[in-house]
Amino acid sequence: MAHDARRSPADLLALVRSTAPGDRKQLETLPLDDLARSVATLAPCDRADFLERSPRGPEVVPLLPETAFTSAVLATGIEHAGWLLEHATADQRVAALDLDCWQNHRPDPERFDEWIDALIDAGPETLARAFDELDFELWIVLLQRMADFRFLARGEWADVPTLDGLVGIEARSSEAEERVRQILGTAVAESPEHYWQFVLGAMNESALACQEAATAKQRGRLVELGFPERGQAMGVYRPLALDAIQLAVGHGPTESTSQGALAAPLQGTLLGSALAGLPQDRAAEVFADVLGVANALAVADELPLAEPESVTRSLEKAIAGIEHALVALTEARARSTTDVLAHVAPAHLFRAGATLDPALRTTKTRGELDREADTDPWAVPTETVAESDQTLVDDGAEIEHGPTPLRSGDLR
């Protein structure tokens, strides 16, 4: 069996903070993949500290999961994170903006400004790579927010700011003018074709059409990261009565068979004890489905997806709802918690638990959430809500194994 060289969080931090040559030597000899996996388990602030202190930080950065990278940038502070963006992969940079610059499926212009400044700080090569990494439509929307662009009439070049003597730039503010000059100046120097794509696009493309295209692409990427569309996410709140859950005949494991260590959020919980009774591979699958429920709750509850506190809140809520149903089903069916967990998907358990405990339920339907966005100028209505919203209506369906549960991404 392959040797696992991962270190505990405390051990890893002690090594990187030590001034002893021997401790630094230990860090240098750790396999890079194992080191990256260990760093990903650190709390975001400690992860950022490790990456900044360790000479191997630039090597570790591109190996981090996208969500782990994003939280490290936020813990560092976007204004100081240019070097992290410089060493990141294209997927990491795109995911970071997808997670942090969009709230409730709507772009946050101020957050985009901060990330664009960080890309500028990362250097012209990183900024130029971002021209292709980020959606063309997004660049157009951002540039249109920063300035107006038009072809100059004869003799105007002396009175209107311009980079090429042909296109005039009338920025909305001095800060916006500096960003535009950095973006387009880099395009002129590093990628002239992008310069003309950007300025012509900013002059001619429909802002609404670009917003719709950028939003649709961002939603698709979030699904790949494990965060479902709002319509699917709200499904975790559809009421489900205990009587509708049919346990299969036959019992699951009755003795502890899992050999893996429990994830930190599960230690000391009823759900953790139930998972410990499952075979290791099955326990890992079920825990992944629990994380999927937490992801759906984060979307349904409109939590900022890049914030570690959102991860904690949604996971704690998922565990609470699932445990509520586990207790109720154990008492009602005279089956062990492990047996129930072996037969009922975590998404269905949460639905049943939230049905029993109104404090766990949302107070809004998907339709109400979408209608709240109608007054937001950046809102892009790309989904249709039925006139009769069924989010909080009990479907009365009998559930045995249920559909394929929601899958999760790395929540760190």
pLDDT tens figures, 26-79: 888 889 999 999 999 899 999 999 999 999 999 999 999 999 999 999 999 999
Closest CA to 54 of 44, 39, 73: 39
Same domain (yes/no): 198, 233: no
**Domain limits for position 194:** 103-216
pTM of the shown model: 0.80
Q: Cβ distance 311 to 362 under 8 Å?
A: no
Q: How far apart are CA 49 and CA 13, in angstroms?
A: 9
* Same-domain status, 282 and 187: no
Which two structure tokens, joined as six digits, stand for 207?
């802002």
178 and 315 inside one domain: no
Chain center to CA of 283: 24
Answer whether residue 153 is part of any domain.
yes
* 66 falls within a domain: no
- Identify whether residues 362 and 238 lie together within a single domain: yes
How does DSSP classify residue 301? T
Q: How far apart are CA 96 and CA 115, in angstroms?
A: 9
225 and 291 Cβ atoms separated by less than 8 Å: no
Residues 371, 299 share a domain: yes
Closest CA to 217 of 110, 95, 305: 95
Distance (Å) of CA 319 to CA 194, 252, 282, 302, 411 = 48, 21, 18, 18, 15
Strand, helix or coil for residue 113? helix
Task: Supply 226's token pair.
Answer: 């494990």
In tens, the pLDDT along 272-320 reads: 999 999 998 999 999 999 999 999 999 999 899 998 889 889 999 999 9
Token pair 């059409």 in the structure block, residue: 209
- The total of structural domains in the chain comes to 2
What letter does residue 399 receive in the DSSP assignment?
B
Q: How confident is the model at residue 395 (pLDDT cuts 50, 70, 90)?
A: low
Q: Do 192 and 246 lie in a common domain?
A: no
Token pair listed for 331: 């008492």
- Domain boundary residue, one of 216, 244, 269: 216
Contact of 351 with 236, CB cutoff 8 Å: yes
> 194 to each of 129, 135, 183, 190, 361, how far by Cα in Å?
11, 12, 10, 9, 48
Choose one of 216, 237, 271: the last residue of a domain: 216
> What integer pLDDT is reported at residue 219 of this predicted model?
92
Q: What is the pLDDT of residues 338-392, one digit of tens each?
A: 999 999 999 999 999 999 998 998 766 555 555 554 444 444 443 433 334 445 5
